[in-house]
Amino acid sequence: MSARTKARKRAIDILYAADVRQITIPESLATEAQRAASEPARVASWLYARELVDGVVDHREEIDELIETYSQGWSLARMPNIDRAILRIGIWEILYNDAVPHAVAIDEAVEAAKILSTDDSAGFVNGLLGKIAQTAPSA
């Protein structure tokens, strides 16, 4: 597993933990930062995970609006917590990280959904991120 894939998984964990524990994302991030400081082997994935989470926090309103717009009948509150986290990260990578091609961001999100979420989530994530990528500037 690449360092970026591990970083995405860590970022998903941080966003998911904030939702489940009903704490703020910065609180969840601080908890993970403490853990990362005590685990030097995880440093390689920590920097990009933090960039992902910070990016989601900085653009959350726009990202959540896009999820609501393109989810066709699914409100944010109705979605599984893990799907929200995966989508937020995927959208941030598509819109704000020129170093990640859209197809890579979508593939990584779909793989995460296959592993971490419901049977239907991978298709949902693929469709929603695909629509957003079509409207985004090319990476």
Q: In this predicted model, what pLDDT tens digit does every residue of 61-114 receive, in sequence order?
A: 999 999 999 998 788 888 999 999 999 999 999 999 999 999 999 999 999 999
Give the three-state DSSP class for 81: helix
How far is residue 83's CA from residue 138's CA, in Å, rounded to a whole number? 24
pLDDT category at 138 given cuts 50, 70, 90 is: low
Predicted pLDDT of residue 97 = 94
Q: Which domain holds residue 60?
A: 3-135
Token digits for 15? 């966003």
How far is residue 117's CA from residue 120's CA, in Å, rounded to a whole number? 8
pTM of the model: 0.92
CA dihedral 72, 52, 5, 105 (to 10 degrees): 40
- CATH code of the domain covering residue 72: 1.10.940.10
What is the number of domains present in the chain?
1
